[in-house]
Structure 1
Amino acid sequence: MSKKEVKLPKNYRPSEKEEYMNPKQLEYFRRKLLNWRQDLIEESQETINNLRGEVRDVGDEAERASRETENSLELRTRDRYRKLLGKIDQALGRVEDGSYGYCEETGEEIGLARLQARPIATLCLDAQERWELKQKQMKDSR
């Protein structure tokens, strides 16, 4: 970390009793995001290795079609991971600039429970619900 090193107790979990987004909480979420990022990178690398390691001329047409479907699913998963990695990197940037944990729309606290469930969240629950309703209305008006 570029700032003062923050030590976390072994089984530290952010608590509502603490000041919101204090240095320990920020470090906790920074580590959580970095670990998630590393897991996604490792899984993506496994996917690449699996696709490279396959023998292309295996079996009959049905088996080949099945393999192509599996490959397509793996590539879609990899694309989803790529997008997630971008969101994780953005969240890490917010940890560094001190805006992590606050709603991009309202400036209100996103909340520890929501961040535990979705560490890349950028909106508080109310703002997220408004956004989803707006998306639904746009979809329905088509």
Structure 2
Amino acid sequence: MKRFNLLHGILLATAASISLLNVAHADDALKMELTANQVIKNADGKTVYSPVRTAPAGTVIQYKATYTNTVNNDINDLMVTLPIPANMTFTGEANPASAQASIDGKNYADMPLMRKIDGKMIKVPYSEYRTLRWNIKLLPAKKAAAVALNTVVNK
């Protein structure tokens, strides 16, 4: 059974994907921590998250990025993105739900993404989503905010 290393490849892309619209802050004003957790429904039907490094095809994995403001000033309009690894398919679940999506990493729109085929608007399959983006309007001094997306390991 093939297993995938879940954090491989997403770390560099995520580290490069943080942009401060208010550029008056120092480079070290923001700390990011990325985790990968298997999404499991327990016997009570509640969702449980379990840290995981590798997983077989079909496993649901949540990628969560926590951004911590390390300075004594608020950060406004923080734009953050999380790429969807090539060996994964987005499930449609994002937190917060205000995320925008992209199939090319350049052009973003509210979800669900739509395209016109034969004069009709249809939903773009989640398998084509490559990146999600959030705008954190305000990250107060010394506080943290998290964004997350769920994926399934491809076969």
TM over 0.5: no
Larger Rg: 1
Question: TM-score normalized by structure 2?
Answer: 0.23
Question: TM-score normalized by structure 1?
Answer: 0.24
